[in-house]
Structure 1
């Protein structure tokens, strides 16, 4: 009887190998050859699941974003109190622990690659639109002033969080031991105090 292969599981395994290689050595470390070797597949086997490195990278990017969403949901239902819900969301996108520092390494490598890849660039732009929209909803609710999500003060604060998060994720690459975590936590505290005022 022929062996039944779970192709979706194989794709997930390949994506996990690509993530591990990117965390350890950056985007350049995730070559087709290194992925095949680390995954333990024959050279031609990878093409059955991903026709190109770009297709692996796109799947890796989507997987990293999905994992971030899963981790937010694993924290339980969103708090009913708007300020607490906003804090949880802001903390989720800051590199405040080893998992999020590793996720930053993956996402930043993929963002850089997306500059020259239209499909990845559109995935990233879509992610940014979704991220900005959710932040604006949470900020408007936390401010409690009845502002629409597209009010200038709300969109400016959403942009600030995005820019601060991306900056924190970039700087944490130089301090993978978490040395900047206290600084990033202090930013979140300052931001939340401003929202509450």
Structure 2
């Protein structure tokens, strides 16, 4: 009887290998050859799932963004809007080893997306969606009946995104997590500003 192969699981395994290689050695380490070797597939098997390195990169990028989205969604948005916003902000910061490593992958992929318009468009769409969701959460947390597109709300959402990106970049130099208390303090200061 022929072995039944779960192709979706194989794709997830390939993405996990690509992510691991990027964490260990940066974007350049995730070559088609190294992915095949690490995953234990035959040379031609990888092309069945991903025809090119760019397709693996795009899938890895989407996987890391989806993981971030899942962390954000785990906070109950119907609960206290202030706590929902805090959860949202903390979900995007490198506050544990897993998120530090995920940030490392995203930064490597962002750099690659500069020369790849398809990836750049994907990330720009992610940034727009992220800003819109944050603006909604900020407006709700402020409790002033402001629309999510009010200038001050949009400005605060932009600051929150820049704080997150900056923290992820900085954590590359301190992968031991020694800056986690500082990142938590960023959230505390931003939450106070939002409440003012």
Q: Name the TM-score, length of structure 1 as normaliser.
A: 0.96
1-side partners of 2:184 and 2:82: how far apart?
16
Task: Return the offset for 1:73.
Answer: 3.2
Q: Sort the Cα spacing of 1:184 and 1:79 in 2 relative to 1 into closer, same or farther, 3 A.
A: farther
How far off its partner does 1:79 sit? 5.1
In 1: Cα distance, 2:149 partner to 2:68 partner: 25
The answer for the alignment partner of 2:21 in structure 1 is 21
TM-superposed CA distance for 1:196, in Å, is: 1.6
1:9 aligns with 2:15: no
Structure 2 unaligned segments of length 5 or more: list them: none
Q: Deviations over 1:26-81 (max 9, x none)?
A: 11111111100000001111111100000000000011111112223345x23521
Is the counterpart of residue 173 in structure 1 residue 172 in structure 2? yes
SS at match of 1:113: helix
In structure 1, runs of 5+ residues without a counterpart are: none
Number of equivalent positions: 196
TM-score, length of structure 2 as denominator length: 0.97
The alpha-carbon deviation at position 195 of structure 1 amounts to: 1.3
- My pick for the range that moved more, 160-169 or 66-75, is 66-75
CA positional deviation for 1:164: 0.9
- Alignment match, 1:62: 62
RMSD: 1.0
Q: Give the corresponding residue for 1:32.
A: 32
User: Partners of 2:164 and 2:89 in 1: how far apart?
Assistant: 8
What residue is the counterpart of 2:134 in the other structure?
A: 135
1:144 maps to which residue?
143
